Chains A and B, each alone.
Chain A
């Protein structure tokens, strides 16, 4: 309890330090910033030592997020709605909606999922690790890879070319899995 309280107060101190110097460039600010990050790192290491790495690192990350949001809420620059607000410009619907990107994502998203699922499993066979570890890696690699590909595809907005590339990845991975070359 006392440890948690000490870590929480230290995290608050570090976060206030970061807030104070966040966008400043002078030497003192640099020192405060470095010190604050070191404090946060120290809390993580300390908690990992006390509670074990699994709990300790998780506790520290949760605490930093909460403290930062609390600091942010407490120091928010609030302006009464009665004062004139900054003029907001509206954009036409199509320009801001990313309608084309929406369509691309809907079409290519499922194909990307299929390709990444096959690729993730195919990589197990290529990696010099046990089957269990390979499957564990694939279980996390698949959603991550799908997310990265979905990101790239929705940014590029080139349906045809991306469909061909993803189709090829799925076909090659499938061929590797189901028609292995034996020597």
Chain B
């Protein structure tokens, strides 16, 4: 990019720094939680490890669970959802939405008996953080999506600010001074992760920013009714009138098995159960398609009405319905999940190293260094504390996370040395993880735990051992005697 003038490059670098500083800490939080959410189902299974699991449920079980779910809500139901097992969450669960918007959920077993409700534990915290930053949902989602747009801006300014970024694409120098190392890590991961970063940024920006757009479009083209906009884009619900009867779930599932054997059913919904307007929807994932699902509609008696056109309707509709899977890596099975985990981790490192570069360039140190250390290393600590608390009192998970985050930042600021603060927080995180895994394996019989849960525990144990490794402490103690301890951090 030799055509860029030095002034343009300098301006781009200033813009890159400015945007990076505005969004730095929040971007890190989003990247880290997003990375963990790639395996959100594993956290759900870890939270409640003894729930009945099976790769498929009989239609009798589903019918029974749907009927039982509708009965349990002591009010007219708007809809009853039966969520089918998947490769990553081989459990069935029922969700009942009341006319007043209230919602209740239960797992169900092989006979369709409703069991425990899904716990709002660690996976819930990760979603609340990644989708809304723990803010009220409407504003939180807009802010998170604005950060997605800013990630796009960071990518653009990053490319403009580094004319040699492509030329140096294979040039990684480690151990040659903190600033040089951080710059190389930041630039190399950025350039090779570029397609992934752009996809994540653009799709992430879409989720929340589409809300304000819909409001503008509604006021301009749809007489101010946002629901009409959504109906136009995603397709409208059918309006039916029929005699009241038990929903024809059997017939609907028969149609799916005959006409769409390759479709992987995600969920089944009975809308307006027990009313004349009752109808059934079945969402199925289609092979090779990024669209979240196609939705097939059935009349009250289970007769096929039509599909919503999410995979064969207008191109715009298909594109919009493909955003979710592309953003969260929910396609292509385990290899894609692992790829998203690794590349998500790389993006997290990019977000941290960007601020590290700025701190190193700035020279000297101030309270900002301590705050940043507290944020970077306090977040895993807070998540570990929240994970532990979630097992004891799921409802207290978010509170525990917030409190632990504050404590971590206070600890880092009071320590006033980012290396020591990092070591302390890593030690605390490691100790917390070790306590959690030890307690977990003590409470739950190992032979009854699914492989996913064991994998998660093993990962936590490895992390704990890494952060508690005596070697790290011994070497740091030695290095702590030297005067330049503050130079190496994060």
Contact = CB atoms under 8 A, between A and B. Distances in A.
A68 to B, nearest CB: 4
Contacts of B221: 124-125, 131
Please tell me the size bucket of the interface on A: 35 or more
Given A139-B320, A140-B206, A146-B149, A72 B14 contact: no
Nearest to A18: B170
A117 B157 contact: no
A144 interface: yes
Contacts of B361: 90-91, 96
Contacts of A121: 213, 216-217, 220
Contacts of A64: 192, 195
Contacts of B470: none
Interface stretch (B48-56, B126-134, B330-338): B330-338
A113 B233 contact: no
Contacts of A98: 13-15, 17-18, 21
Given A143-B148, A154-B14, A178-B220, A130 B213 contact: no
A144 B213 CA distance: 13
Contacts of B459: none
A58 B196 CA distance: 9
A34 interface: no
A76 interface: yes
A97 B174 contact: no
Nearest to B287: A52
A106 B15 CA distance: 11
A92 B189 contact: no
A38 interface: no
Contact of B18 (A23, A69, A83, A101): A101
B389 interface: no
B406 to A, nearest CB: 25
B342 interface: yes
Interface residues of B, number: 86
A134 B316 contact: yes
A134 B213 CA distance: 12
Contacts of B201: 147
Given A91-B361, A130-B316, A155-B11, A78 B213 contact: no
Among B18, B322, B488, which residue has the most Cβ atoms of chain A within 10 A? Answer: B18
Contacts of A136: 233, 315-317, 319-320
Contact of B346 (A69, A90, A140): A69
B327 to A, nearest CB: 12
Among B155, B289, B332, which residue has the most Cβ atoms of chain A within 10 A? Answer: B332
B180 to A, nearest CB: 6
Contact of A96 (B22, B180, B358): B358
B162 interface: no
B146 interface: yes
A118 to B, nearest CB: 6
Contact of A157 (B8, B14, B212, B360): B14
A69 to B, nearest CB: 5
A148 interface: yes
Contact of B290 (A58, A62, A69): A58
Contacts of A154: 14-15, 18-19, 153, 157
B145 interface: yes
B108 to A, nearest CB: 32
Nearest to B288: A52
B173 A65 contact: no
A147 B360 contact: no
A131 B229 CA distance: 10
B76 to A, nearest CB: 33
Contacts of A72: 170, 172, 188, 192
B135 interface: no
Among B176, B193, B205, B340, which residue has the most Cβ atoms of chain A within 10 A? Answer: B176
A120 interface: yes
Contacts of B13: 98
Interface in B225-273: 229, 232-233
Contacts of B22: 102, 105-106, 109
Contacts of B202: 140, 143-144
B316 A101 contact: no
Given A101-B15, A147-B156, A65 B192 contact: yes
A62 B196 contact: yes
B12 interface: yes
A77 B171 CA distance: 8
A64 B91 CA distance: 34
A97 B15 contact: no
Contact of A102 (B18, B145, B173): B18
Contact of A117 (B212, B316, B340): B212
B202 to A, nearest CB: 6
Among B151, B209, B326, B331, which residue has the most Cβ atoms of chain A within 10 A? Answer: B209
Interface of B: 8, 11-15, 17-19, 21-22, 145-146, 148-153, 155-157, 160, 167, 169-180, 188-189, 192-196, 201-202, 205-206, 209-210, 212-213, 216-217, 219-221, 229, 232-233, 288-290, 314-317, 319-320, 322, 326, 331-332, 335-336, 339-340, 342-343, 346, 358, 360-364, 488
Given A97-B17, A125-B220, A155-B11, 13 more contacts: A4-B335, A55-B288, A58-B326, A61-B195, A65-B194, A73-B172, A79-B175, A80-B175, A93-B362, A96-B361, A109-B22, A132-B233, A147-B152
